[in-house]
Chains A and B, each alone.
Chain A
């Protein structure tokens, strides 16, 4: 187990804990940069979903995980970003300018939504953001002069300063670049007074208020920032799916984002990225279970002569071919995560890490939470 001997207060808030930590991140960066050369073009395309979802995850993590405000309508911000970006591109605005405008518009929308949200909390806030999302979705389908309604809106590959990012690998690096920027900015915000104020609001509004945190200011700031990041993700999302239609940005997408932050682990940026890996790679994994695995098992069965493989393969394929199974698998994982590991994948990783760093002396109770009684949320 490593102990960091702290000699200055700044060590508490520096980006990396120590040189070893930094080394791991550098290794990770090299790995991620080298990845496109190891994978097929299709897999690279799937992996850039991870980065887009990662940006969405960071956005929602700042709001839900750090400020404690629940939003069931973040798909609307994603949609606003995507449509704004596509609209400005159509009008001939250069790519960088278009992204900047999309981010500014979503930030403004987030701020406006945040204003009535200041007085609400918990379930009321969730339903208010949900209503906002439903209304925005209707706007997407009705405001045809801008969004082309259900006819859809094609979005070409990004062209930045004359350089086209049409190839999957090039787009991968573009998404990666923006994810790193977003992570860096968010991390910096979180270790600055702003982020501390957000965390204070999450833990206790009253305590934060009495410490001099301006609740209205910081809550709307969190909403605006979260929406702005979502807008950026929306711009990349628009390029990735290449064809915008209003029925993409439904409440189910918002729920998927919430799933992302919960499965990843609430209250950590690592969790946002881990959750993004999970959410982006689960559908391809299910597709493999549906298509390839039964075939492989069938081959195995004929080559080894064991009929069991065939039966298992057929059952798997048959089950995953049924419509709507994907949502059920997502739901099941969500339920299991909340019941068994409330801190998500990142929490589990922390436990595993502690287990190995303190090897024979690991105590299960290190992470045991204080027994919680029902605390009323009616009073706030």
Chain B
């Protein structure tokens, strides 16, 4: 469940960017990894408080996401989707190399203030997992409020629906795009920091999560925010139950098998909209 929430959060990052800019960001997982490393650096090397480090990591990576948009990704808007996918894959591998050169390929552990466990009618939930679930809920609530009740949020919705029309209405589309990238990178960082105590921090932590999260986003229908979260939770649950009940080896493949079946039946995902292009 908790891991599913992480998948959901990363998938949310995918969907945010996709909805707004039609770019598919394969580097999302690597942003998550960078975020976790920045937080680790702040906590362990500089000896800062966990919450302060969390904030620093989110802000740093969000700024980095915006920078990425301005420097690189703005140039490829309008190119075929495939080129952009490859571009972000390339960016992701640059980030991984950067991380391995800067922080080395060791595995780090991040200590968190969530140490204890919580008893609930015979079920024991550790605070770490609880922190992930609560963090996801808080983030989703905040994003929901942001998109529905603030001027910028509504402008973002308008941009994602029709870029040209939004531009005519005086919405600064370019700035909105950068902001979307920043938010998405921030969400990825939050997911990374929440995930860090569970999977430990190393340079490849993002890749595995990103692939599953990507499956989650597609499962929910790319472009649907509740779909992404639900898809993440479904993938997480499938992984959990197939790991527990099915023979060895199904834990990692079962999400993909389910995904293939879903796509074969509903090519647009569970909540996706499918339209026919007009000529």
Do B257 and A135 touch (CB < 8 A)? yes
Main secondary structure of the interface of A (DSSP, over half): helix
Do B89 and A116 touch (CB < 8 A)? no
Query: Of A120, A262, A324, A374, which one neighbours B86 at CB under 8 angstroms?
Result: A262
- Decide yes or no whether A352 CB sits under 8 A from chain B: no
- Decide yes or no whether B252 CB sits under 8 A from chain A: yes
Do A339 and B76 touch (CB < 8 A)? yes
Binary A-proximity of B218-234 (CB < 8 A = 1, otherwise 0): 10001100000000000
- Decide yes or no whether A18 CB sits under 8 A from chain B: no
- Decide yes or no whether B97 CB sits under 8 A from chain A: yes
Do B257 and A124 touch (CB < 8 A)? no
Most buried by B among A262, A373, A374: A374
Contact count band on A: 35 or more
- Decide yes or no whether A350 CB sits under 8 A from chain B: no
Task: Please indicate the chain A residues that have their CB under 8 angstroms from the CB of B116 in the complex.
Answer: none
Do B277 and A206 touch (CB < 8 A)? yes
List A residues 78-135 near B (Cβ within 8 Å): 116, 119-120, 122-124, 126-128, 130-132, 134-135
Do B105 and A323 touch (CB < 8 A)? yes
Q: Which residue of A lies closest to B21 (CB)?
A: A374
Do B267 and A120 touch (CB < 8 A)? yes
Binary A-proximity of B243-279 (CB < 8 A = 1, otherwise 0): 0000001001100110110011001110001011111
A335–B79 Cα distance when bound, in Å, is 13
Binary B-proximity of A307-330 (CB < 8 A = 1, otherwise 0): 000000000000100111101111
- Decide yes or no whether B4 CB sits under 8 A from chain A: no
Task: Please indicate the chain A residues that have their CB under 8 angstroms from the CB of B18 in the complex.
Answer: 123
Do B218 and A324 touch (CB < 8 A)? no
Do A331 and B90 touch (CB < 8 A)? yes
Shortest Cβ distance from residue B11 to the other chain A in the assembled complex, whole angstroms: 12
Contact status of A331 and B97, CB under 8 A, knowing A123-B218, A135-B257, A138-B253: yes
Do B260 and A131 touch (CB < 8 A)? yes
A259–B86 Cα distance when bound, in Å, is 8
Task: Please indicate the chain A residues that have their CB under 8 angstroms from the CB of B211 in the complex.
Answer: 130, 134, 251
Shortest Cβ distance from residue A244 to the other chain B in the assembled complex, whole angstroms: 18
Do B267 and A119 touch (CB < 8 A)? yes
Task: Please indicate the chain B residues that have their CB under 8 angstroms from the CB of A339 in the complex.
Answer: 72, 75-76, 87
Do A328 and B83 touch (CB < 8 A)? no
List B residues 44-101 near A (Cβ within 8 Å): 72, 75-79, 81-83, 85-87, 89-94, 96-98, 100-101
Q: Which residue of A lies closest to B173 (CB)?
A: A374
List A residues 266-325 near B (Cβ within 8 Å): 319, 322-325
Task: Please indicate the chain B residues that have their CB under 8 angstroms from the CB of A135 in the complex.
Answer: 253, 256-257, 260
Most buried by B among A204, A319, A379: A379
Task: Please indicate the chain B residues that have their CB under 8 angstroms from the CB of A331 in the complex.
Answer: 89-94, 97
Task: Please indicate the chain A residues that have their CB under 8 angstroms from the CB of B81 in the complex.
Answer: 122-123, 377
Shortest Cβ distance from residue A253 to the other chain B in the assembled complex, whole angstroms: 13
Do A138 and B252 touch (CB < 8 A)? yes
Do B260 and A335 touch (CB < 8 A)? no
Do A324 and B203 touch (CB < 8 A)? yes
Do B22 and A134 touch (CB < 8 A)? no
- Decide yes or no whether B164 CB sits under 8 A from chain A: yes
Do A373 and B277 touch (CB < 8 A)? no
Shortest Cβ distance from residue B126 to the other chain A in the assembled complex, whole angstroms: 29
- Decide yes or no whether B214 CB sits under 8 A from chain A: yes
Task: Please indicate the chain B residues that have their CB under 8 angstroms from the CB of A378 in the complex.
Answer: 22, 223, 273, 275
Known: A123-B222, A327-B93, A334-B89; 17 extra A-B contacts, CB below 8 A, are A116-B260, A116-B264, A119-B267, A122-B82, A124-B222, A124-B263, A127-B214, A130-B256, A135-B253, A138-B253, A323-B100, A324-B97, A325-B97, A328-B101, A338-B79, A338-B87, A342-B83
The 20 listed contacts between A and B (C-beta, < 8 Å) are: A116-B264, A120-B267, A123-B218, A131-B215, A131-B256, A134-B252, A134-B256, A135-B260, A138-B253, A319-B101, A322-B100, A324-B100, A325-B101, A334-B87, A334-B89, A335-B72, A335-B90, A338-B79, A342-B83, A378-B22
Interface residues of B (CB under 8 A from A): 18, 21-22, 24, 72, 75-79, 81-83, 85-87, 89-94, 96-98, 100-101, 105, 163-164, 203, 211, 214-215, 218, 222-223, 249, 252-253, 256-257, 259-260, 263-264, 267-269, 273, 275-279
- 9 smallest CB-CB distances across A and B, nearest first, come from A328-B97, A331-B93, A334-B90, A372-B78, A131-B256, A331-B90, A116-B264, A119-B267, A379-B275
